[in-house]
Amino acid sequence: MRSITMQLVLLAGVANAWGPWGWHGYDQLTVSTTSGHVHGKIDPEAPNVRQFLGIPYAQPPVGDLRWKAPEALSQPDKQLEATQLPPSCNQFLTSTGSSLYVRDVLEFNLQGLNRTGSTSEDCLTASVWTPVGQKHGGRWWGHSKQQGLPVLIYIYGGGFSTGGQDVPYQIPTQWVNRSPDHIVVSFNYRLNIFGFPAAKGLEDQNFGLLDQRAAVEWVKENIGAFGGDPSRMTLFGQSAGAASVDYYNFAYPEDPIVTGLIMESGTAMIPIGGDATGGSFDLVANNVGCDGLANDTTAQLACLRKVPAQTIESFVANYSDRGASPGLEFGPIPDGNSVFQNYTTRALDGKQAKIPAIIGSNLDDGVAFAPYNPAGPNTTLAHAALLATFFCPGTKTIRLRQQTGRQTYSYRYSGNFTNISPRPWMGAYHSSELPLLFGTHPNYRGPSTALEYATSHAMQDAWVAFAKDPVNGLESQDWKVCEKLGAKEVREFGDGVAAKDVSLAKVEAQC
């Protein structure tokens, strides 16, 4: 009897050590978190991946919690069905004008639509894509007794106005299915007026960025239950998401939680922001039933917190689509907490996390920001947009990191693949690297080429190698640290070969 008891104790200890998914088959899809007992799914077309979709990581930011910092959520006994991608935070996709994202390629929009996809104010959720365990003797076992898997936490772009987990090109199922040696987490954060109101009466600002920190904290606390290693987490993002990564880097220099940073076409130097005067917020208030309260900020906020979120969002959408003046601006503003006035000074003062980073941009990042023309944009305007908005801010960030001893890797994405760029002039436009990274490139407009697959695998493997070990992991990819600008230390992806090293001295000289 004593022997049997001891065996049961040992089995229980093994199960606890390997997480709740470590021994019985059904436990593969049931994970205990601070948000509840989460039940996920495995899709037949991606048998190597367990998906846990739409898990709340903070209290719903509704009612009195609208325009407040995210509040912790603790409901460990709740049963949660996590098998469908959740609604995104309130936003709108403009119904006017033209761009390649609504004319040529829809898969960067919510649900692949050319209209606003599913949204809700109750949107602070995260999704986890993690490998299945190994099956031995009819039972499922974890990947490692000692160490969990590296984790890549993604922050989507969209100008701090759009984006979410349910963007077809940015769903990582195929990536994790191909290389089931890492975990990817994506999450929603508040956007536009709900995330970045710049209202004069608020104690905090930049709620979308505070949401991001809350999500990282939730991942740290819970990722072990999904088989992840909370000591090996890399924060990566694209465009506004990349800027968010760098904002985070400067906001939490002593406690970054994550061990690596990846910034794709964006850094804290990117020229984007909101109306710090509060004028945009006042304009909205005056048009949704809270007029005349601009001088009584407490009353104004109390009034606006009672207005339905859709009423506010509809006004913002309709006003913006009309091209009315003055224009509405809702984005990050300096508050001395999550966003700062002078990043050069802050960097030189050592007030950024001392952890490695990958920083880069796309060859044709500016194409999408020149006036749309089906025959091709004005190349002068496109190149100016590339330099001013993406390449030169990134170059400045890399230079500052070099000056302050922050280990940095530099890259450029130059792929031009027909199923991603259906018009020849699109080239390696803004966001076009994402289908390669997430492995979603063959899903639309025809099959992918051999070079496209090779480029995808090269990028995926590099990002995972970095997440495994940000200091030394890229040695396995023969990718050198960028010690100085102008040197042949930039990894270029997709230009004739999957990856090669180049110098960008000629372009850097234009900054």
3-state secondary structure of 185: strand
d(CA 85, CA 119): 11
CA distances from 16 to 141, 206, 218, 342 (A): 12, 39, 20, 47
Nearest CA-CA partner of 309 in 156, 193, 144: 193
Point out which residues pair with 492 in neighbouring strands.
Answer: 412, 500
Question: Is 239 tagged catalytic?
Answer: yes
Q: Which of 206, 226, 325, 376 is nearest to 276 (CA)?
A: 206
For residue 385, report the phi and psi dihedrals to the nearest 5 degrees: -65, -40
How far is residue 112 CA from its own chain's centroid? Answer: 17
- Alpha-carbon distance of 33 to 122, in angstroms, equals 19
CA distances, 190 to each of 164, 170, 366 (Å): 10, 18, 26
Q: Are strands 30-33 and 119-120 parallel, antiparallel or unpaired?
A: unpaired
Among 35, 127, 161, 239, the one annotated catalytic: 239
Distance CA 197, CA 211 (A): 14
**Is residue 141 classed exposed, middle or buried when 0-12, 13-18 and 19+ CB atoms within 10 A define those classes?**
middle
Residues identified as active-site: 239
